């Protein structure tokens, strides 16, 4: 699932979930990497470990 937006603890997905979400369900959301050096600098402050092409 791809996250469209996140604001004030509300997660909006690009597509609907394939099943009904129930109270007590747990999810893990991981920040994605688009392999761009600018993202590595701005989003993750981790350019020292960047292993892609500029």
Per the domain annotation, does 54 fall within a domain? yes
- Flag whether 51 is in a domain: yes
pLDDT of residue 1: 83
The string over 22-49, giving b where at least 16 C-beta atoms fall within 10 Å of a residue's C-beta and e elsewhere, is: eeeeeeeeeeeeeeeeebbeeeeeeeee
What pLDDT score was predicted for residue 42? Answer: 92
pLDDT at site 4? 93
48 in a structural domain: yes
Total structural domains in the chain? 1
- At residue 22, φ and ψ (nearest 5 deg) are -115, 155
CA distances from 11 to 15, 35, 38 (A): 12, 23, 25
pTM: 0.57
Residue 35 belongs to what domain range?
30-54
In a domain, 49, yes or no: yes
Q: How far apart are CA 26 and CA 11, in angstroms?
A: 13
Whether 5 is covered by a domain: the verdict is no
pLDDT in tens, 5-44: 999 989 999 999 999 999 999 999 888 888 889 988 999 9
Q: Is residue 21 part of a domain?
A: no
């Amino acid at each position: 699932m791809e996250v469209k937006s996140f604001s004030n603890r509300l997660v909006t997905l690009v597509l609907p979930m394939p099943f009904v979400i129930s109270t007590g369900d747990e999810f893990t959301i991981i920040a994605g990497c688009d392999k761009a050096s600018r993202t590595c600098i701005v989003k993750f402050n981790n350019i020292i470990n960047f292993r892609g092409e500029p």
